[in-house]
Structure 1
Amino acid sequence: MSKHDFTPEEFAARLRRAREAVGAAGLDWLVVLHPVSIHWLTGGEAKSYQAFQCLLLAAEEKPLTLLSRGSDIGEWRDDALVDEAVSWGGPEPEDPIAAFARLARERGLLSARVGIEVPGYYLHPHHYVQLKDLLGGALVAEPTNLIHELKAAKSPAELVLVRQAAAHADAALHACRAVATAGRSELEVAAEAYRALLASGCGLPASTMNLVSGERLCYPHGAPTQRVLQPGDGGNIELGAAFRRYTATLGRNFQLGKPPVRLREIHAVVREAGDAMMAAIRPGVPAVEPHLAAKRIIAKAGFDAGRLHTSGYGLAPGFPPSWGEPLNMFGGATGVIAEGMVLTIEPPIFLHAERLGARLIDNVVVTASGAEILSHVPREIIEVG
């Protein structure tokens, strides 16, 4: 991903909307810290989110300034649409908050009304404390989702990349199917999926693959292991394809041989619950409604205790360790579904006592009339070997 992946006009429109939102929130400045927010505004995707970085975004037409570690500053200057890229550290260690303090004083943040993002993964607690101490009374808000809410509905150009990611996810799942045979390990199957993704032009996804088999089929987020597939094993896989950071996810159950009756029963309920979610999705619907539609079906079948995962969520052009957006479809959700959103559909049933589990994962684009499913892989148990 870089400033060349979208037109200058699209980036300019994003920046204009973001400045307007900062002003509407009663702020002079927003200190942008989430790598997805920075990526959406500038196109940059350097790995400096591993350390302290931020983008200074003013409500008025002032320079868009990025502060990042010195080892990545050249990449930012080449690939990001920023007016200035300022480095900290480099040949020798430096306190990044000291570098931020210099910028804050130069740009007048300490005498302005400032908001900061407080993302869960990308801001170290001691940096957060130092920022609060430094900004003092100038810090008046922590609108962490301000940028996320602007970017939740994807532009037509973004949806092109999402659809390409979905096609790559389909291909990677087919590649897994070809090697998911008795005698191969879970890691070997996962390796083929990653090979297919990387060879097709995708980058590594923001979150690692889930792949479980046999007695591990009851684990909702089990990573692939050295366990060797045996005849009669069931399995479940969730993979993500990241095309220029835009993510598509896909999940299916597979079976070496004929699926047992109990697994077919569980899988049928999961599939019905996912269908009900997709039928409930349309612009203006509260995000909790598709979740409740799935919950009713799973509970009626007697499996509510096995619903050990969110029913779905918004998908971002993610950075490790997550590709999720703030919108969730689970109990108590307060968001509202809008046209252009990309959502996962994945109501699950995982029964540890029975060593069984089923989850179908599909992505949909919210259209004016409902939900457009992106994958072309049948929503059935995949019988292999």
Structure 2
Amino acid sequence: MAKEDFTLAEFADRLGRVRARMAERGLDWLIAVHPASIHWLTGSDAKSYQEFQCLLIGAASEPLRILTRHGEVNEFETCSLADEVFGFGGGETEDPIAAFARLARRHGLLGSRIGLEVPAFYLHPYHYLALRDLLGPDRVVDASDLIADLKLVKSAAEQACIREASALCDKGLERFIAELRPGASELALAGAVYETLLKQDSGIAASPINLVSGPRSAFSHGAPTGRRLAAGDFGNIEFGATAKRYTATIGRQFALGPPTRRMRELYDTVRRASDAMIAAIRAGVPASVPHEAAKRVITAAGLEPYRVHLSGYSLGPGFPPSWAESLALIGASAHRLEAGMVVTIEPPVFIGKEGLGARIIDNVLVTETGAELLSGVSRDLIIV
């Protein structure tokens, strides 16, 4: 069960650090909404994020209380460390904010200083507005970063999960390479990867596989289709594997037949940009530094207009639709790298007018002196 994935001592340490951070911010209560936050504090793996849910965390020693849709109550009670679980809805429609209001009044949240997570994907704007009006706009502060930032540095047990997930990624990629040939469809190749991952006991990653080839190779996040690969194709694959919800990702570039000079140029630029990022990473470095290192390489190659987004982000336990954490390797980042963080390395170049793109994706563990590459599979261009 999910609550047994880590020791009680580790869960207690996490809760203690959250309450210490709450005290620093003068918060009486924290309302956690993000499923990764709830998972991190209670071990819950419940598929409850499709509807309103929250975890109530008091600043002192109050019980951990979950509000979730009625269908998930049994799973929370059985598989999480929540002290009390409350359900809404049952067999009929019920306003979850009305159910929350009953809890808030019963346990003294009204009139308190409250931190509220406002995460993308998981909190409907109407629910946010209703919570703010109920609790008082002058009493509620955005605390979306409180648990998110505490989760960035991984314990030894968490690192072991990510290493396990990374080894699974390697196996999935090895299967992809073995199946890669002209005539194979993108969907069939994706199916082979998923078959390997699931048979090796990977969990289902939070984001679906990206696999593009031929004229679709300029799509930065293209889903696999029934298109059959052909000689001369250039393409890219990206997918994730999980161990106890902890995600590792991998991405590689491939060519069916000898790559053209332009294909090789794009791949070589991305490879050098990735290498520059890895060389720049170590504890104490601002998260913007490896991003800027990649930008310099891409700019020098004359490809800066085609660098389409950030150069990487932190990884941890993931829930659909994203496995990314709050730290981004990008120019505006306010984060600083710390030993124990796990980040992706993926500076991309995608040129729509040419129908070409390239991206290599690796994960590294930040250490005091550098970056440890977690994948064991070659980063070279795959040529069939």
TM-score (norm 1): 0.98
Q: Which runs of no fewer than 5 residues in structure 1 stay unpaired?
A: none
Aligned-residue offset at 1:138: 6.3
Shift, 1:137, TM fit: 5.0
Deviation at residue 316 of structure 1 after TM alignment? 2.1
Q: Do the aligned partners of 1:203 and 1:241 also contact (CA within 8 Å) in 2? A: yes
Distance (Å, rounded) in 2 between the aligned partners of 1:309 and 1:378 = 24
**What is the DSSP-based 3-state SS (H/G/I as helix, E as strand, rest coil) of the residue aligned with 2:144?**
coil
CA distance 1:137–1:224, change in 2 (3 Å): closer
- Equivalent pairs counted in the alignment come to 384
Q: Deviations over 1:260-303 (max 9, x none)?
A: 22111111111111111011111111100000000001000111
Tell me how far apart the structure 1 counterparts of residues 59 and 20 of structure 2 sit (CA, whole Å): 6
Which residue in the other structure is 2:50 paired with?
A: 50
In 2, Cα distance between equivalents of 1:237 and 1:310: 18
Offset at 1:148? 0.7
Deviations 1:233-261 (A, max 9, x none): 11100011111110000000111122222
Equivalence map 1:12-23=2 (5 Å): 12-23=12-23
The letter of the residue matching 2:136 is G
Identity %: 54
Partners of 1:250 and 1:268 in 2: CA distance: 18
Aligned position for 2:180: 180
Instruction: Provide the rounded CA distance (Å) in 2 between the counterparts of 1:86 and 1:140.
Output: 22
Q: Flag structure 2 segments of 5+ consecutive residues without an equivalent.
A: none
Contact in 2 for aligned 1:270/1:348 (Cα 8 Å): yes
Amino acid across the alignment from 2:114: V
Cα deviation 1:195-245 (Å, max 9, x = unaligned):
111111112110111100001111111110111111121110001111111
Structure 2 residue 44 is matched with structure 1 residue 36: no
| Larger displacement relative to structure 2 (177-186 or 371-380) | 177-186
Checking the alignment, whether the CA contact within 8 Å between 2:209 and 2:237 is kept in structure 1 is yes
Report the AA paired with residue 103 of structure 1. Answer: L
State the AA in 2 paired with 1:131: L
Where does residue 73 of structure 2 map in the other structure?
A: 73
Alignment of 1:105-124 (within 5 A): 105-124=105-124
Q: Determine if the alignment matches structure 1 residue 96 to structure 2 residue 96.
A: yes
CA distance in 1, matches of 2:245, 2:137: 37
- Name the SS of the counterpart of 2:363 in structure 1: strand
Is the contact made by 1:170 and 1:375 (CA closer than 8 Å) also made in structure 2? yes
Cα distance change on mapping 1:223 and 1:137 into 2, 3 Å: closer
Consecutive aligned runs of 4 or more in structure 1 exceeding 4 Å deviation: none
Aligned residue in 2 for 1:141: 141
Q: Report if aligned partners of 2:236, 2:252 keep a CA contact under 8 Å in 1.
A: yes
Offset at residue 342 of structure 1 (A): 0.5
CA distance in 2, matches of 1:157, 1:316: 12
Q: Deviations over 1:152-177 (max 9, x none)?
A: 00000000000000000010011111
- Aligned equivalent of 1:82: 82
Taking the TM superposition and a 5 Å limit, the aligned residue runs for 1:1-385 are 2-136=2-136, 139-384=139-384
For residues 376 and 259 of structure 2, the distance between their equivalents in structure 1, rounded to whole angstroms, comes to 22
Look up the equivalent residue of 2:252 and give its one-letter code.
R
Measured against aligned partners, the alpha-carbon deviations of 1:277-336 in whole angstroms (never above 9, x if no partner) come to: 011111111100000000001000111111112101111211000011111111221111
Report the AA paired with residue 270 of structure 2.
V
Structure 2 residue identity aligned to 1:153 = V
Q: Deviations over 1:94-148 (max 9, x none)?
A: 1111110010001100021111100011001111111011111563311111001
1:364: Cα distance to partner? 0.2
1-structure distance, mates of 2:231, 2:272:
28
Q: CA RMSD in A?
A: 1.0
CA distance in 1, matches of 2:89, 2:294: 50
TM-score normalised by length of structure 2: 0.98
